[in-house]
Structure 1
C-alpha cells in the first residue's frame, strides 16, 4: 500500500523547527533570497526531523510560496537528488568533518548534504555551489555554523564524486554489499534483502542488484492511467502524453504538471505507476467461475487501484466495495472512485482485519497490503533511510492477517490478489507460503498468465508469482500472487 497520502505535516520532534512559509506577511519572516535552496532545505529538515514525505510536502511548499519555473525545477532537483544519494554524501561528509556525522547539529546536516549534492552531482560551478550554500547556512543556522559549513564544503570540493567514492567505499571484491551501500546510496541491509529477492549472492556477484539500485536513483517518469469508461489513452496522448508500454490504460507524461491535463483535473485520469495498474488488471482478468457482481478492495488508500477497479467493475455491471481503515485516506479513495461507470464504487472506513462485511460474499478481493515500500524507492527515496531491518518482520502479522481475512471474504470459486509494493521475500513469498500451509481451500494461480503483454514477470516457486522490477520493466517493484478459493463439493 502506498504511503503517499499520509500527511506531510507531523508534530515536530522536541527541539526541531517548524516549516516556515516563505511569503512576506505582517508578522512573518521576509521571503528568502534564494527560494529554491530554502524550500529544499525546509523539506529535507522536515523529512529528517518530522518524518514528512517529500512527494507531499515539496509541492505544497512550492505552491504556498509561489515558487515556479526554474526555481521550482531547481528545488525539486536539490530535494530529490539529495535524498537519493544521501548515503553516499554522508560517507563523504564523514571523511570531511573532524567528528562523527551523528554529532553534527540536526539543522546544519541538511545544509551540508545540499551542498554536497550541488558540488558532486550537478553542473553548478563549485564556487557558486559553496557560496550559495554557505549563505543559506548563515540564514538558517547562524554565522558560526555557517563557517563550519564553509570549511566542510571546501574539503568536499577537492574531489569529484568518483574520486570520493574510491576513497570512502569499502573494497568491492571483499565487501560487495558495503561497496554498493555507499556507491549506490542504500542501507546495507536493503542491499542484502534486494539481492536475496533477485536470487544473487555476494560470492557470485551482485550485477543485477547494482542495476536495481542504480534504477532507484534515477528520476522516474510520470505515468498516468486513463480510467476505463471515462477517458482513453488517446485522450492523454492528445494532451501531450506518450502511449504506455504495457498497460492498455497507461500513458507517460514526458514533462509538465499532470494537473495541467484536463482529464486528470476532472478525475477521469490519474497518476498511477504502470505496475500498479497491471496488478489490478490481472485480478480482473481471472475467470471468477460463476457470479461476478461484487468486488472488494480491502486496503484501498489512497485509492489508485480502487479507482481503476471501480471503473472496470462498472463496465461489467459489477460493484466495488473499497475499504480503508484511516478515515482521511478513505476520503481520498472516495475521490478516486467518484463517477465510476454506473456509479460502481462505494467506500467505507473499516479495518480489514476486523471485517465489516459477511464472509464468502465477494467474487474478487484485492489485498494491497501495507508494506516496507522498498519497491517504490525511486518515488519515495526517503523510505530507504526510514525503514529498518526489522520493518518487514514487524509488518508480517498484519499482512498475514489481511490475507487470511481476504480468503474468508471471497466466495468459493472466487479470486484473491495479494499485492505489495515491496520485493522483500518476507513480505511476499513468506506470507504466501504461510497462508498456503494453513489453508487447504486456497490454490495458487500462475499470475503471469494473466499479463501476457509483459515479459520476464514470473517469479517464485514454479514461476507462480509476478514480480515487476524498475531496472527491467521501468516500473515500481510490485509483487502479485493470485489465489482461487476451492469450490464447494
Structure 2
C-alpha cells in the first residue's frame, strides 16, 4: 500500500503539490514591469479598493405618495380624485408635505394618468419585452419617471435620480437598476421627438396619430370626432383641453349664498373669478381649497362644474304649462344637481324629491340637501322601477349613468379604463331611466335628459329611440342657455371643454304630450 511521508517529492498528493508549486514559483518570480517604462504593472501594483458601504435609499414623500396613488388606481380601480385627497391630508398632518409638495404630488399623479397611453408607447420602445410582461408596480414607477422627464420642468438628472431612488424604496435595488437603464433611454429625447417616433403619420392613420400624440385611446378619439364633427383643428383643441387641469368651480346655492359672497371671501387662495355662464358660479383660478370658504363649510355652496349647473338651470327655466309644485331628480347621487335644483325649487315654492338607487350615495344626497330652505325628501329608490305614481311630477331630471367621456379632465384614468363594450351595458339602463322619467312627469311637464358623455350612442341615439315610442316632443334648449356660443344646431345642447370651459355635458329637454 502506497503511503506518504514528509520526505521526497512523491510524498505530496498531486493537488496539494500543484498549489505549493504555484505558491513557490510565484513568490520567486520577479515582479513584472511595464513593457515600455519599466515601472511596476499598474494592475498588479494597485492597492485593492475597500468595499463600498451600502447606502440606504432616500425616501421622497412626494414621489412615494404619487406611487401609492397610482397603485390604488391600478389595483382597486379607484379614482384619483377620491384616492389622492386623503393621502395628501394624511401627509400634511404628519408634516411630510407643504403646499408646494402637495401641488407637485398632484401634478405627478394626474399628469401620469392622463398621458399613460403615450408613456406606454414610449416605454415599450425602451424595453426588451412586451409591456404586459413588466410588473405593474415597475411600470407605474417608469411612467412617473417618464412624466417628469418629458412633461415637467424638472431637470433630467433630477428626474432620473429621484425616480431611481423611488424604485429602490418601493421595488428594491435589483429592479431599480432596470428602471435606471430604461429612464436613461427615455431621457435621450424630448417629448416631441418621441412622438415623432411612436405615432404614425396623420395621413396614414389619423385616429391613431391623434390618440398617441394626445393620450386618448383610439376608440375614444373616434367617438369624440363623430360627436364633434369638423376637421382636425377642432378635434386637437378638444383633446388638448381634455389634458388640461380644470379649474375648481363653485356653486352658490340660491337663497343660501351668492356668487358675490364667494368672491368676497378673504379665505380664497389665489384669484377667484366669476363663472363664465352660470350666475351662481365662481372659479378658483389657481386651484384653491374650497373647504376654506365659510359658505362651502356650511353647505350653502359647493363644488360643481359649470356645465352641471347649466343643465339644472335650463330644466328649471324651461317653459311649463300648468302647475309647478313638485320636481324629481331621478338619479340624484352624489347630490350636486339635486342641491341646486332643490334651491331653485324652493325659490318658487316647489318641493323636490331626490331619488338614488345606492344607499351610500343617497346619504351623500341627503348631506348635500341638508339646510335647503324649501321642502324636499331623499329616498333610496331605483329610477327604472319607481315607487311613485305615474304623472306625479311637473319637472324631472334624469342624469343617467354613462361612460363619463365628458369628464376626462377630472377623471383622467377613465379614458384607459373604459372599453367600447361598456356602451352596450349602459344602453338599456339609459333608455329605461328616460322611459320611466317620461312616465313620471305629467302631461305638459318637462323631462331633462342629461349625461356627462358626448358619445352619440349615449345622447341622441337614446333620445331618438324614446321619442319613437313615447308621446313627447323635443324643446329647444339653446334659448335656456343665453349668451353661450357654439351650442350647435339644436334642439338639444352639447357643451365642450375647449369651447365652453365645462365638462362635455349633454342636455335634451322633452315635454310629455300625451
Please list the CA deviations of residues 291-323 of structure 1 after superposition, one character each: whole Å capped at 9, or x if unmatched: 111000000001110000000001111000000
Which of 309, 322, 328 aligns to 1:296? It is 328
**Alignment map for 1:455-466 (pairs within 5 Å):** 455-459=485-489, 463-466=490-493
1:107 deviation in Å? 1.2
**2:255 matched residue in structure 1:** 229
**1:275 matched residue in structure 2:** 307
Which of 329, 334, 342 aligns to 2:361? It is 329
Report the 3-state secondary structure (helix = DSSP H, G, I; strand = E; otherwise coil) of the residue aligned with 1:289.
coil
Report the 3-state secondary structure (helix = DSSP H, G, I; strand = E; otherwise coil) of the residue aligned with 1:346.
strand
> Against the structure 1 CA distance between its residues 252 and 154, is the aligned structure 2 distance closer, same or farther, given a 3 Å change threshold?
same
1:32 deviation in Å? 8.0
> Against the structure 1 CA distance between its residues 68 and 357, is the aligned structure 2 distance closer, same or farther, given a 3 Å change threshold?
farther
**Alignment map for 1:65-144 (pairs within 5 Å):** 65-66=91-92, 67-144=97-174
What is the rounded CA distance, in whole Å, between the counterparts of 1:322 and 1:157 in structure 2?
A: 53
Please list the CA deviations of residues 27-84 of structure 1 after superposition, one character each: whole Å capped at 9, or x if unmatched: xxxx982111111111111111210110011001111222331111110010001111
Please list the CA deviations of residues 72-117 of structure 1 after superposition, one character each: whole Å capped at 9, or x if unmatched: 1110010001111111111100101111111100111110000000
TM-score in terms of structure 1 length: 0.90
What is the rounded CA distance, in whole Å, between the counterparts of 1:45 and 1:207 in structure 2?
A: 35
**Alignment map for 1:359-398 (pairs within 5 Å):** 359-398=390-429
What is the rounded CA distance, in whole Å, between the counterparts of 2:98 and 2:502 in structure 1?
A: 28
1:455 deviation in Å? 1.4
**2:75 matched residue in structure 1:** 49
User: Is the CA contact 1:338–1:345 (under 8 Å) kept in the aligned structure 2?
Assistant: no
Q: How large is the Cα RMSD of the aligned pairs?
A: 1.3
1:420 deviation in Å? 0.2
1:340 deviation in Å? 1.1
* Structure 2: tracts of 5 or more residues without a match: 1-56
Report the 3-state secondary structure (helix = DSSP H, G, I; strand = E; otherwise coil) of the residue aligned with 2:509.
strand
What is the rounded CA distance, in whole Å, between the counterparts of 1:449 and 1:242 in structure 2?
A: 25
Which of 224, 242, 246 aligns to 1:216? It is 242
**1:194 matched residue in structure 2:** 224
**1:406 matched residue in structure 2:** 437
Please list the CA deviations of residues 171-227 of structure 1 after superposition, one character each: whole Å capped at 9, or x if unmatched: 111111000110000000000000000124xxxx42211110100001100110000
Matched, 1:351 2:382: yes
Q: Which of structures 1 and 2 has the bigger CA Rg? A: 2
Report the 3-state secondary structure (helix = DSSP H, G, I; strand = E; otherwise coil) of the residue aligned with 1:484.
strand
**1:16 matched residue in structure 2:** none
Which of 410, 430, 450 aligns to 1:419? It is 450
User: Is the CA contact 1:62–1:68 (under 8 Å) kept in the aligned structure 2?
Assistant: no
What is the rounded CA distance, in whole Å, between the counterparts of 1:32 and 1:425 in structure 2?
A: 50
Moved >6 Å (runs of 4+): none
Report the 3-state secondary structure (helix = DSSP H, G, I; strand = E; otherwise coil) of the residue aligned with 2:342.
helix
**1:477 matched residue in structure 2:** 504
User: Is the CA contact 2:318–2:446 (under 8 Å) kept in the aligned structure 1?
Assistant: yes
Report the 3-state secondary structure (helix = DSSP H, G, I; strand = E; otherwise coil) of the residue aligned with 2:125.
helix
Matched, 1:285 2:317: yes
Please list the CA deviations of residues 321-348 of structure 1 after superposition, one character each: whole Å capped at 9, or x if unmatched: 0000011111110111111123x32111
Report the 3-state secondary structure (helix = DSSP H, G, I; strand = E; otherwise coil) of the residue aligned with 2:137.
coil
User: Is the CA contact 1:32–1:38 (under 8 Å) kept in the aligned structure 2?
Assistant: no
**1:339 matched residue in structure 2:** 371
**1:148 matched residue in structure 2:** 178
Which of 340, 344, 358 aligns to 1:312? It is 344
What is the rounded CA distance, in whole Å, between the counterparts of 1:274 and 1:336 in structure 2?
A: 17
User: Is the CA contact 1:195–1:206 (under 8 Å) kept in the aligned structure 2?
Assistant: no
Report the 3-state secondary structure (helix = DSSP H, G, I; strand = E; otherwise coil) of the residue aligned with 1:108.
helix
What is the rounded CA distance, in whole Å, between the counterparts of 2:356 and 2:373 in structure 1?
A: 21
**What count of residue pairs does the alignment treat as equivalent?**
449
What is the rounded CA distance, in whole Å, between the counterparts of 1:355 and 1:147 in structure 2?
A: 59
What is the rounded CA distance, in whole Å, between the counterparts of 1:300 and 1:312 in structure 2?
A: 15
What is the rounded CA distance, in whole Å, between the counterparts of 1:432 and 1:36 in structure 2?
A: 47
What is the rounded CA distance, in whole Å, between the counterparts of 1:414 and 1:325 in structure 2?
A: 24
Report the 3-state secondary structure (helix = DSSP H, G, I; strand = E; otherwise coil) of the residue aligned with 1:107.
helix
What is the rounded CA distance, in whole Å, between the counterparts of 1:389 and 1:149 in structure 2?
A: 33
User: Is the CA contact 2:491–2:508 (under 8 Å) kept in the aligned structure 1?
Assistant: yes
Which of 182, 188, 208 aligns to 1:178? It is 208
What is the rounded CA distance, in whole Å, between the counterparts of 2:236 and 2:284 in structure 1?
A: 27
User: Is the CA contact 2:58–2:165 (under 8 Å) kept in the aligned structure 1?
Assistant: no
Report the 3-state secondary structure (helix = DSSP H, G, I; strand = E; otherwise coil) of the residue aligned with 1:65.
helix
1:453 deviation in Å? 2.4
Matched, 1:243 2:282: no
User: Is the CA contact 2:59–2:169 (under 8 Å) kept in the aligned structure 1?
Assistant: no
Report the 3-state secondary structure (helix = DSSP H, G, I; strand = E; otherwise coil) of the residue aligned with 2:140.
helix
Report the 3-state secondary structure (helix = DSSP H, G, I; strand = E; otherwise coil) of the residue aligned with 1:191.
helix
What is the rounded CA distance, in whole Å, between the counterparts of 1:130 and 1:286 in structure 2?
A: 57
